[in-house]
A and B are shown apart, each in its own frame.
Chain A
Amino acid sequence: MERSEEAAEPGLSNRWPELLVALFLFAMGVVAVIDSIRVGIGWEEGEGPRAGYFPFYIGCILLVSSGWILITALRKFKQAQPQFASWTELRLVMQMLVPLTIYVIAVVFLGIYISSLVLIAFFMKVHGKFGWLVTAMTAIGVPLGAFLLFERWFLVPLPKGPIELMLGL
């Protein structure tokens, strides 16, 4: 839902997010067009359209549409903007996004089981204020359940790290 600048709570306006996302899309368009030109956008005699033929036009559509968003955003840049999110809301989002990012990095190095255990325990302890017993049961139960379901019954291996290797799993 759109909110006006005079929203009750101070926060981040749409100005910069709008501009940055449009810039990102424009950059993707540039990436698509440049690489399409590299692989060839023309007609190969006896073969038909080259590999870059279709992505080139897609890149062009991306450039035009994101350029349009960019121009609209710049023209409205000085005007009052709807709020993107209040600072309180953004802080809440960060409280999820930061642990989530650390979790994904941890999955790369430690595997999914230990990382999941820590993530669930962290949220339950810090945000949920649960007791140690409930926290431990949930934090250990979920990865264990996933292990049984995937590795034992469906025979789908999940990423494991040094600790699982030590346990010989």
Chain B
Amino acid sequence: MDELNNLMHGFSVAMTLPNLGFMVLGVTLGILIGVLPGLGGANGIAILLPLTFSMDQTSAIIMLSCIYWGALFGGAITSILFNIPGEPWSVATTFDGYPMAQQGRAGAALTAAFTSSFVGAFFAVLLITFLAPLVARFALKFGAAEMFAVQMLTFCSFVGMSKEPPAKTLAVMALGFALAAVGMDTVTGTLRMTYGVTELLKGFDFLIAVIGLFGIGEILLTMEEGLAFKGKSAKIQLDVVLKTWAELLRYWKTSIRSVLVGCWMGVTPGGATPASFMAYGLARRGAKDKDSFGKGNIEGVVAPETAAHAAGTSALLPMLTLGIPGSPTAAVLLGGLLIWGLQPGPLLFTEKPDFVWGLIASMYLGNIVGLIIVLTTVPWWAAILRIPFSVIGPIIIVICAIGAYTVHSSIFDVVMMLVFGVFGYLFKKLRYPLAPLVLALVLGDMAESSFRQSMLLSQGSLDIFWANPLVGGLMTLSFVMLLWPIVPVLKHRLRRRT
């Protein structure tokens, strides 16, 4: 049981007093980010990333990942009390969470949401603990061609699995890759697509894109819905918590199903949002009293929250082992690792075991810390939401602008943030998915270099991608995923002909 030994060692790294302090700070900041509109996990971490550059690597990543857990918890508060999903993945939680709050069962709904989140995350961390070392060991044998095939699969799955139109998914993905290619080519040193503009020499930083697309774009969307927040107040008493916990035990089947859906969607880049909807749908289909869903059924809170957290957490598995993030937030964390000079991927497990296992141990601890903090501090967060948007809105804009500036100390980035913000709004309204754009921007250079390395190895022949069953299988699967959206169209045509 190497994993257990490593994990114990990880706990000793994570359990130091400063690191526990960073955990509490991270979770608190995370909940704040999750509660406020316009600040989400991805761009919240993007904004805070520059502040961690002076910190110790392990402490920094522990704090950043705890911000992530906090944001996952925080999204549930706004959806249940205010019917405003603080994060896209908590949309499904509003369906039954808000009716429960209206019926005066806000305490029970929140307890159910937080506990389910915790359960989802806990199982996903277990999965990471035991599966990640295996995947990493396996991936050590990967060459450039295999790496490219995995990246190819990641992007093709977006086309195959997203609910948005495939052409739009493909277009934003290509836009992301194109933006990533702007600036100096890392291999030959040639300047690409700068068209003589000095500011473009260093290329587009995905952190700026994240702050603009998710932060400013979200603010504009929030404005559209008007400025009024009308919410329910909530306090959580201990007896409500205990009673709800007892009730939750009855929904163990829903929990297990949601954990499975969540882990699957997290590891493959489906992400937390579709996972939460799928789990909600499955719970409703499996329930005896289907009609009570949408009217305050506690199972309708359990399912999406469990799945969203399981997905959000397991998205870190491919990030740590293969260097491929499963979600935009994981992508930002990956960017952080790269900035600290840590190359995520199979080698990370052998070269920086302290760091990896410290991080995994902090996932266990961070979620426990998070659960305790959210259960005890709910009234405060509800109070923050009662501050009018005319105060919160401009403050969030200021925070985003500061965040965008501090990435490279460049004013041009603040302007780019605004441009990305407008496109974030347009893309959201026109149903262009944002996650593939961000992921392409993060992975662009990596995908290109593994592609070029493979080409060098094979002297320009594409045969290398079908040279052995592993890489061939991955590539074939990628093309299946890519062409998946055409299947229903073909079926329809065939049926019409017969």
Residues of A within 8 A of B (CB): 14, 17-18, 21-22, 25, 28-29, 31-32, 35-36, 39, 43, 47-55, 58-59, 61-62, 65-66, 68-69, 72, 84-85, 89-90, 92-93, 95-97, 100-101, 103-104, 107-108, 112, 116, 119-120, 122-124, 127-128, 130, 138, 142-143, 146, 150, 154-159
Contact = CB atoms under 8 A, between A and B. Distances in A.
Contacts, number: 182
Contacts of B174: 29, 58-59, 61-62, 65
Contacts of A156: 50-51, 406, 409
Interface stretch (B16-24, B267-275, B397-405): B397-405
Contact of A68 (B54, B167, B398): B167
Contacts of A55: 177-178, 181, 192-193
B51 A49 contact: no
Interface string B173-192: 11101100100010110111
Interface in B419-435: 421-422, 425-427, 429-430, 432
B452 A48 contact: yes
A95 B112 CA distance: 38
B452 A54 contact: yes
A31 B174 CA distance: 13
A120 B395 contact: yes
A101 to B, nearest CB: 7
24 contacts: A21-B430, A31-B195, A32-B181, A32-B193, A39-B190, A49-B455, A49-B456, A54-B451, A55-B193, A58-B181, A59-B174, A66-B171, A69-B167, A92-B227, A93-B425, A103-B397, A107-B414, A119-B397, A120-B398, A123-B390, A124-B391, A128-B388, A128-B390, A158-B406
A103 B394 CA distance: 10
B170 interface: yes
Nearest to B224: A89
Give the top 7 A-B pairs by smallest Cβ distance, nearest first. A128-B390, A62-B174, A51-B190, A65-B170, A127-B390, A65-B171, A51-B185
Contacts of A25: 171-172, 175
Interface extent on B, as a size class?
35 or more
Given A43-B460, A108-B411, A69 B168 contact: yes
A150 B402 contact: yes
Interface of B: 50-51, 54, 165, 167-168, 170-175, 177-178, 181, 185, 187-188, 190-193, 195, 216, 219-220, 223-227, 388, 390-391, 393-395, 397-398, 401-402, 405-406, 409, 411, 414-415, 417-418, 421-422, 425-427, 429-430, 432, 448, 451-452, 455-456, 460
B420 to A, nearest CB: 12
A158 B388 contact: no
A90 B221 CA distance: 10
Contacts of A61: 170, 173-174
A39 B50 CA distance: 34
Given A47-B188, A96-B393, A62 B401 contact: no
B402 A158 contact: yes
Given A43-B460, A62-B174, A123 B414 contact: no
B223 A108 contact: no
A6 to B, nearest CB: 19
Given A54-B448, A119-B397, A92 B390 contact: no
